[in-house]
Amino acid sequence: MLRSLSLGTLISGFDCGMGHSNGENPPPGLVCKFVGLVLGVLMIAVPVSSSRPDFQALKVAENGRRVCRVTRFGATGNGRVYDTIPIQSCIDHCAEQGGGVVHIPPGTYLTGTIHLRSNITLWVEEGATIMGSTRQEDFAPESARWYTILAEGADNVELTGGGIVTGQGLNFVVEFKEEKNIMVSWNVTGDCLGDECRPRLVGFINCKNVHIWNVRLQEPAYWCLHLVNSDTISIHNVSIHGDFNSPNTDGIDIESSNNTLITHCHIDTGDDAICPKTADGPLCNLTVTHSWIRTKSCAVKLGSRTNHDLRNLHFEHLVIVDSHRGLGIQLRDEGNVDNVTYANIQMSTRYYHPSWWGLAEPIYVTACPRTPKTVVGSIQNIHYINITTTSENGIFLSSLGGRNLKGMKFRNVNVTLERTTNYSGGHHDYRPGCEGMVPHRMSATFLENVDDLRMQGVIVRWKTARVWDWGLPFDFAAGTTVRGMHLQDYESSHLD
Ligand SMILES: *[C@@H]1O[C@H](CO)[C@@H](O)[C@H](O)[C@H]1NC(C)=O
Ligand SMILES: *[C@@H]1O[C@H](CO)[C@@H](O)[C@H](O)[C@H]1NC(C)=O
Ligand SMILES: *[C@@H]1O[C@H](CO)[C@@H](O)[C@H](O)[C@H]1NC(C)=O
Ligand SMILES: *[C@@H]1O[C@H](CO)[C@@H](O)[C@H](O)[C@H]1NC(C)=O
Ligand SMILES: *[C@@H]1O[C@H](CO)[C@@H](O)[C@H](O)[C@H]1NC(C)=O
Ligand SMILES: *[C@@H]1O[C@H](CO)[C@@H](O)[C@H](O)[C@H]1NC(C)=O
Ligand SMILES: *[C@@H]1O[C@H](CO)[C@@H](O)[C@H](O)[C@H]1NC(C)=O
Ligand SMILES: *[C@@H]1O[C@H](CO)[C@@H](O)[C@H](O)[C@H]1NC(C)=O
Ligand SMILES: *[C@@H]1O[C@H](CO)[C@@H](O)[C@H](O)[C@H]1NC(C)=O
């Protein structure tokens, strides 16, 4: 089934084939050609290796398309003067001529929100940095539009060029704390509340044909890359670097969008790294491959905002390092999660300060109603294949308020349980909401109201065994029912 997955079918005009599809090898070069991406003519060949430098691609773009230079519109790139108006004028001029490449040459461009438009490629050249403002007056009044770069209702829009976009997130820290920083809140207008009231970095809302590649996104003050109600998105060779101690510095949040392909990305950030959600509509066809992740929260987190269905998600060839959680699903609302595959993934998970959600679980799945009135949806057909993890805690599968977890399959999954930090274990973490933090012994697999669980070729190895809160291969919640549990070639052994 997985062999026949063709990434090319996800993105039209995007002709991709894997160099190798053998799961054991390091990330093979994804061989891609961009064909007629924006204007229906051959214009940009995605560099498949560093042997094709970006400037050459720009030259190709220049040959085929209009190039608009922000310097001609008075942008200084000196990092002190606001270049918002020159950059926006350049984009608007280019868009009014039918679109083209907006070229940002080397320099540092301090700016309030820049609005991208249809048929625009924002080419932030290597050596160029777009530096988001830290003043609230440089952003729209409504918090839903607080971004440094925002495309709304645009078709064929692209962000690339080898340069950097930064949100200057460290300037939003009020107090630096090892366990978790305290951040600025722009809640004075009452438009957003509490401590999640800061600008995001890059957003695409109601867009079609969105391509983000060869670009570094740094220091978001809040979420980094946000895709909302959009269709046909590719994110390739994007590196995201958020402050490890700052909350809500999510990597990529994908909301209610279809046909998204994320490949060869590097995400190192404080909060959830890849986070699909469904507040306003369903989310279908998300594929993430060949990416590296480190986070103080959950590496791949589905939810918790899940008002609509999430369907056909595929995660493959991921390396997840020193994260608080690995592969998570947090269903809290009426949407359903159906047909998710995680394959060929290597992980290490560990404890961090408990003010961050997570307790080192490599695999964490919960369905639980957000409010007493919520009729929570179901999670089904979830496959874990060829997974290796070294973790301070085990797998956690729980359904509360209904029998909503069914059809989970594990095949060739190796879990080494090893304590590597001094944080105390001995809890289950249901946050957000539900039962919160509950004192509980730890096990390799905790089950609560699970139907039709299949494990084939699961190997659990214990290092540092016989700690008081530690040591059971399986544990069942008191008052749980398990309907259908199938184990084949299951093994648990001590390493010391
Ligand atoms: C999901 O992908 C399949 C296969 O490419 C396609 O047929 C289907 O239309 C896609 N779904 C949506 C909602 O775009
Ligand atoms: C974008 O380019 C396409 C193809 O040239 C054209 O059909 C479309 O009208 C353009 N859209 C805008 C908003 O300029
Ligand atoms: C704004 O946020 C601060 C810090 O989180 C909080 O103390 C204050 O009560 C909030 N004010 C409003 C109006 O939400
Ligand atoms: C990935 O993007 C960076 C710029 O962010 C660029 O320097 C590098 O060459 C790109 N790598 C490949 C393989 O294209
Ligand atoms: C995604 O696909 C679903 C199912 O076909 C559709 O209802 C929804 O409107 C699509 N969303 C977008 C943003 O295109
Ligand atoms: C499950 O999702 C994959 C893509 O991730 C798709 O190829 C496959 O057809 C889907 N299966 C079903 C039964 O929809
Ligand atoms: C799990 O360990 C076994 C025995 O060491 C090995 O044969 C298998 O390839 C490993 N599987 C994974 C997914 O690493
Ligand atoms: C899992 O790994 C085995 C080799 O250990 C490989 O033959 C198989 O194709 C892999 N499965 C998937 C779904 O990639
Ligand atoms: C754990 O605590 C011990 C004793 O205080 C100390 O020696 C060790 O370095 C600590 N380990 C870690 C990973 O912090």
How many H-runs (helices) and E-runs (strands) does the chain carry? 2, 37
Name the band, by pLDDT with cuts 50, 70 and 90, for residue 56.
Answer: very low
Name the band, by pLDDT with cuts 50, 70 and 90, for residue 53.
Answer: very low
- CATH tag, 52-271: 2.160.20.10
Flag whether pLDDT at 371 surpasses 60.
yes
Name the band, by pLDDT with cuts 50, 70 and 90, for residue 433.
Answer: confident
* Long-range contacts from 433-439, C-beta under 8 angstroms, 24+ separation: 433/332, 433/368, 433/370, 434/366, 434/368, 434/400, 435/400, 437/354
pLDDT of residue 482: 83
Among the ranges given (23-37, 245-259, 340-354, 459-473), the one the predictor scored with the smallest mean pLDDT? 23-37
- Whose atoms come closest to the Cα of 281: which ligand? 5
32 burial (CB, 10 Å; 0-12 / 13-18 / 19+) is buried
Higher pLDDT, 246 or 63: 246
Beta strand 427-429 with 443-448 is unpaired
> Mutate which of 385, 386, 414 to test ligand 8's pocket (most atoms within 8 Å of Cβ)?
386
The full 3-state SS of 127-139, as one line of letters, equals: CEEEEECCCHHHC
> Mutate which of 284, 287, 308 to test ligand 1's pocket (most atoms within 8 Å of Cβ)?
284
Amino acid at 401: G
Name the band, by pLDDT with cuts 50, 70 and 90, for residue 468.
Answer: low
* Mean per-residue pLDDT, 468-483: 82
Put simply, whether the predicted model's pTM sits higher than 0.85 gets the answer yes
pLDDT of residue 165: 99
Flag whether pLDDT at 13 surpasses 90.
no
Name the band, by pLDDT with cuts 50, 70 and 90, for residue 17.
Answer: very low
How much is the mean pLDDT over the chain?
87
For the chain, percent helix, then strand, then coil, each to nearest 5? 10, 50, 40
Flag whether pLDDT at 111 surpasses 70.
yes
Flag whether pLDDT at 21 surpasses 50.
no
Q: How far apart are CA 270 and CA 229, in angstroms?
A: 25
* Mean per-residue pLDDT, 393-401: 95
pLDDT of residue 425: 86
Atom of ligand 6 nearest to the CA of 312: 2
pLDDT of residue 161: 97
Q: How far apart are CA 388 and CA 399, in angstroms?
A: 25
Residues with beta carbon inside 6 Å of ligand 8?
A: 2, 23, 343-344, 385-386, 412
- Whose atoms come closest to the Cα of 37: which ligand? 2
The tokens describing 224, both together, are 């980094």
The residue whose CA has the least distance to atom 3 of ligand 5 is 282
pLDDT of residue 189: 78
Residues with beta carbon inside 6 Å of ligand 4?
A: 47, 49-50, 162, 214-216, 237, 239
Flag whether pLDDT at 144 surpasses 90.
yes
Instruction: Kindly state the percentage of the chain with pLDDT values over 70.
Output: 86
* Mean per-residue pLDDT, 95-99: 95
Atom of ligand 9 nearest to the CA of 421: 13
* Mean per-residue pLDDT, 249-270: 98
Atom of ligand 4 nearest to the CA of 53: 9
Flag whether pLDDT at 15 surpasses 50.
no
Flag whether pLDDT at 14 surpasses 50.
no
* Mean per-residue pLDDT, 28-40: 30
428 C-alpha to ligand 3 centroid (Å): 30
The residue whose CA has the least distance to atom 1 of ligand 2 is 119
Look at residues 329, 385, 395, 398 and name the one whose alpha carbon lies nearest to residue 360.
395
pLDDT of residue 326: 98
116 and 88 Cβ atoms separated by less than 8 Å: no
351 C-alpha to ligand 9 centroid (Å): 14
Residue 285 beta carbon below 6 angstroms from any ligand 1 atom: yes
Flag whether pLDDT at 122 surpasses 60.
yes
* Mean per-residue pLDDT, 109-131: 98
2 C-alpha to ligand 8 centroid (Å): 9
pLDDT of residue 467: 62
pLDDT of residue 55: 44
185 C-alpha to ligand 3 centroid (Å): 7
154 C-alpha to ligand 8 centroid (Å): 40
The residue whose CA has the least distance to atom 9 of ligand 5 is 281
Backbone angles phi, psi at 62, to 5 degrees: -60, -40
Among the ranges given (83-87, 252-256, 369-373, 437-441), the one the predictor scored with the smallest mean pLDDT? 437-441
Among the ranges given (116-125, 162-171, 418-427, 468-477), the one the predictor scored with the smallest mean pLDDT? 468-477
Summarize pLDDT for 232-241 with one digit per residue, the tens.
Answer: 999 999 999 9
281 C-alpha to ligand 5 centroid (Å): 7
206 C-alpha to ligand 4 centroid (Å): 27
Name the band, by pLDDT with cuts 50, 70 and 90, for residue 190.
Answer: confident
Name the band, by pLDDT with cuts 50, 70 and 90, for residue 478.
Answer: confident
